[in-house]
């Protein structure tokens, strides 16, 4: 249920989730604080709907979320009483606003891009359960969840040089494909756009609240062109305090805080309280 609020948090949650979905840096305590303050937190992740299911359940996350790195916005049942203005599809128990083209579009695009570029790739869909587990270093059940996607296609390069990878990415960009590096894997989507996802869900909040809810970003400083730039203000997470000092980019809109800071969440809550 949506409560009255002046601010909505858009948090890149991947830095706070281990490969096995365990919470890091005390994120679960921060989520509990937001729930108590009735501040919605929209999770933004490269993980899929099914991968986020267990972490969301463990902290009782009931707000919308953005999955597969800007491929789609997932709306829990009856969260908003207004209908989205954009086209929606049903994805399991969620209403989804698709931003990227759903499967099999990415499968076909990945196959054609590999052929056109002459670069050898191995899609995760082609691996046996044992091969999948060995290649991504996860137990078989969790490894299987990794390749259950709604939109993008996961793969890795087979013996490709840096020049090969650069050629693959360049040709993909020409075709309007989004080729992203995700840890040990790579992802290809057709039409993914985090900014558009945030606009879609932000518009639903604004319409439901009948006023503009401040869009407050929490994400790595490397994401300045996506999550951070799509929001009104927020926090850029740096790897260390030295990075924050060297960057010196704190402003009235965005503050840089080391992700390892012991008072990370307290500092963010102070910033939120000043705006809510």
pLDDT of the residue at 274: 84
Q: Say if residue 166 is in the same domain as residue 154.
A: yes
The answer to whether residue 35 scores a pLDDT higher than 50 is: yes
Residue 2 has pLDDT above 90, yes or no: no
At 97-108, the pLDDT tens digits run 999 999 999 999
Please indicate, yes or no, whether residues 130 and 12 belong to a single structural domain of this protein.
no
Q: What is the pLDDT of residue 247?
A: 46
> Which pLDDT band holds residue 221 (cuts at 50, 70, 90)?
confident
* Among the listed residues 197, 215, 213, 216, the one whose alpha carbon sits nearest the alpha carbon of residue 255: 216
Domain boundary among 190, 220, 240: 190
Q: Are 36 and 160 within one domain?
A: no
Domain CATH for 152? 3.30.980.20
The angle, 0 to 180 degrees and rounded to 10, between the axes of the packed helices 162-174 and 105-117 is 130
| Arithmetic mean of pLDDT, 112-119 | 97
The answer to whether residue 1 is domain-embedded is no
Report how many domains make up the chain. 2
- Tens-digit pLDDT profile for residues 79-89: 999 999 999 99
243 is a domain residue: yes
Q: Both 177 and 219 in a single domain?
A: no
CB-based contact 69:114 (threshold 8 Å)? no
Strands in 214-220's sheet, in edge-to-edge order, are: 89-91, 94-98, 72-75, 65-67, 41-44, 7-12, 214-220, 233-238, 254-258
pLDDT of 251 reads 61
Task: Clarify whether residues 170 and 199 are in a common domain.
Answer: no
Question: What is the sign, positive or negative, of the torsion defined by CA atoms of 41, 60, 64, 139?
Answer: positive
Same domain, 12 and 94: yes
Q: Write out pLDDT tens, residues 228-246.
A: 999 999 999 998 765 554 4
DSSP 23: B
Averaged pLDDT for residues 239-260: 70
Question: pLDDT digit string (tens) for 9-34?
Answer: 999 999 999 988 899 999 999 999 99
Same domain for 86 and 197, yes or no, is yes
Residue 2 lies in a domain: no
Which of 143, 159, 190 is the last residue in one of the domains?
A: 190
- Does residue 199 sit within a domain? yes
* Residue 250 located in a structural domain: yes
Same domain? For 46 and 172 the reply is no
Is residue 267 very low, low, confident or very high in pLDDT (cuts 50, 70, 90)? Answer: very high
Model pLDDT for residues 57-77, shown as the tens digit of each residue:
999 999 999 999 999 999 999
Q: Indicate which CATH number applies to the domain containing 29.
A: 3.40.50.1000
Q: Which of 190, 208, 226 is the last residue of a domain?
A: 190
Whole-prediction pTM:
0.94
Q: Do residues 200 and 263 share a domain?
A: yes
Question: Encoding tokens for residue 63?
Answer: 């707000």
Q: Could you tell me if residue 216 is inside a domain?
A: yes
Closest CA to 114 of 193, 190, 188: 188
Are residue 58 and residue 161 in the same domain, yes or no? no
My answer on whether 18 and 95 are in the same domain is: yes
Q: How large is the average pLDDT for residues 248-252?
A: 56
Find the domain containing 21 and state its range: 7-99+193-273
Residue 221 contacts residue 227 (beta carbons within 8 Å): no
**For residue 158, what pLDDT is reported?**
93
> Is 212 in the same domain as 231?
yes
CA distance 128 to 139: 13
In the numeric block, the tokens 């005390």 are attached to 26
Which of 89, 97, 75, 64 is CA-nearest to residue 215? 64
Q: Give the integer Cα–Cα distance in Å for 264 and 237.
A: 9
């Amino acid at each position: 249920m949506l409560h009255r609020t002046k601010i909505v948090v858009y948090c890149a949650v991947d830095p706070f989730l281990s490969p096995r979905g365990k919470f890091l840096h005390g994120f679960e305590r921060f989520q509990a604080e937001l729930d108590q303050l009735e501040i919605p937190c929209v999770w933004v992740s490269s993980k899929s709907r099914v991968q986020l299911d267990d972490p969301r359940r463990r902290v009782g996350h009931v707000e919308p979320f953005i999955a597969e790195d800007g491929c789609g916005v997932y709306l829990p049942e009856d969260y908003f009483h207004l209908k989205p203005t954009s086209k929606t599809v049903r994805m399991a128990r969620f209403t989804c606003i698709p931003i990227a083209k759903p499967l099999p579009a990415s499968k076909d695009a990945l196959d054609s891009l590999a052929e056109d570029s002459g670069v050898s790739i191995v899609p995760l869909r082609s691996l046996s359960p044992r091969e999948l587990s060995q290649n991504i270093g996860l137990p078989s059940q969790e490894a299987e969840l990794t390749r259950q996607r709604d939109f993008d296609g996961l793969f890795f390069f087979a013996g490709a040089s840096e020049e090969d990878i650069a050629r693959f990415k360049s040709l993909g960009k020409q075709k309007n494909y989004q080729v992203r590096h995700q840890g040990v894997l790579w992802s290809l989507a057709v039409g993914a756009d985090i900014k558009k996802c945030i606009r879609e869900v932000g518009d639903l909040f604004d319409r439901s609240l009948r006023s503009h809810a401040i869009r407050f970003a929490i994400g790595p400083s490397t994401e300045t062109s996506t999550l951070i730039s799509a929001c009104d203000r927020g926090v850029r997470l740096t790897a260390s305090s030295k990075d924050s000092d060297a960057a010196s980019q704190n402003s009235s809109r965005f503050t840089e805080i080391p992700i390892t800071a012991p008072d990370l969440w307290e500092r963010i809550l102070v910033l939120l309280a000043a705006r809510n």
